[in-house]
A = this chain, B = another copy of it.
Amino acid sequence: MSYGPGARINPRVAWGGHVAQKIKLSTIAETLGISTATVSLALRDSPLVAGTTRDKIKEQARALGYIYNRRAASLRTSRSGIIGVVVHDIMNPFYGEILKAIESELDRSRHTFILSNHYDSVEKQRTFIETLLQLGGDGVIMSPAIGTPPEDMQLAEDNGMPAILVARSMEGSALPTYRGDDSYGISLATNHLIGLGHRSIAMIGGTDQTSTGRDRYQGYVNALRKAEIEVDPGLRIPGPRSMQGGFEAAVHFLSLPQKPTAAVCWNDLVAIGLMNGIARAGLVPGSDISVTGYDDLEEASISMPALTTVWNGQAEVGRLAARALLDRLAGSHEPDGIHLIKPEMRIRQSTSPYRART
């Protein structure tokens, strides 16, 4: 935990320039010969202030180049207009699409949002939540880091800051959660491949350390069992979650003794990387090897070949989570618990009927 502005003592340093003189509420009040109370109310469009007075005040604020001091206001009201969002990695387009949806919801309600990656570091995640509390954040949307302890999960709520989870749920946490139905979604992809006649189907990527990872692997296993296909643990290559990871996994995948003819990938990034890796090895993804993705990122439809994947409703997740938080801030209580988005199959060119591998 750190204190102080920039954690330094006596940090008063050179301002950029002249800054003639700080304009504040009282400056407006004085130059207009009225009270600060009236100015304050007028700027916030209170019906308690006469229309003509309000207009005069607003005009003066504009003319003087007045900058509203939110820290002062927030100190008084204990509302900051700040909402924090922390996810694994904002550069991952999966989270990017969630963030975009959150951003557009929050924009509408004039909230400022503060973003952070935690890169699955519990430490970094806690620092972020503490900073947010220090800034008087109104709420937080998080996709919890692997290994988040229950007390960190509750840190926000315990200090009066509502929290909403996205994309991942947390064992034993009662926080409202919005995510896709991973088990169902992956079964769609697996069943699609089974329907095309594939029997040796690998599962590439993901980790058992997240709810998402466990659910997807379980969904894949269940689909195989249901089709009475034996589950071979050797057909699972856990780990990869990025395009680079998928690309590197291609070598391992192609050398599996079981010679799988299809791969259910953890997500679109892994699938695209895997397809590139397969192509680099001289095989043709989509015809020699069928590949499915997960998420239906914007890139999926323009990859080569176009990726068969599962729409995971990122935009929906972001939108609903933001709405739930805003509703909560407005006083209404959304029911807690997990809200699942129902995934949908998107069939494109990266999957084709079974053909034995030569």
Contact = CB atoms under 8 A, between A and B. Distances in A.
Interface of A: 1-7, 9, 11-17, 19, 43-46, 61-62, 65, 67-75, 77-82, 90-91, 93, 96-97, 99-100, 103, 109-115, 117, 130-131, 133-136, 138, 157-162, 243-244, 247, 273, 275-277, 279-280, 298-299, 302-304, 328-331, 333
Nearest to A278: B304
Output the residue of A5, A72, A109, A133 with the most chain B CB within 10 A. Answer: A5
Contacts of A82: 135
Given A1-B68, A276-B303, 13 more contacts: A5-B73, A9-B44, A13-B330, A17-B158, A71-B72, A71-B74, A82-B135, A91-B93, A91-B97, A91-B99, A114-B115, A243-B299, A244-B298
A161 B22 CA distance: 13
Contacts of A131: 70, 112
Contact of A279 (B3, B111, B304): B304
Given A5-B77, A331-B14, A69 B109 contact: no
7 contacts: A11-B79, A12-B79, A16-B328, A71-B72, A112-B114, A113-B114, A304-B304
Contacts of A130: 67
A111 B2 CA distance: 11
A159 B302 contact: no
A96 B103 contact: no
Output the residue of A71, A74, A136, A298 with the most chain B CB within 10 A. Answer: A71
A71 to B, nearest CB: 4
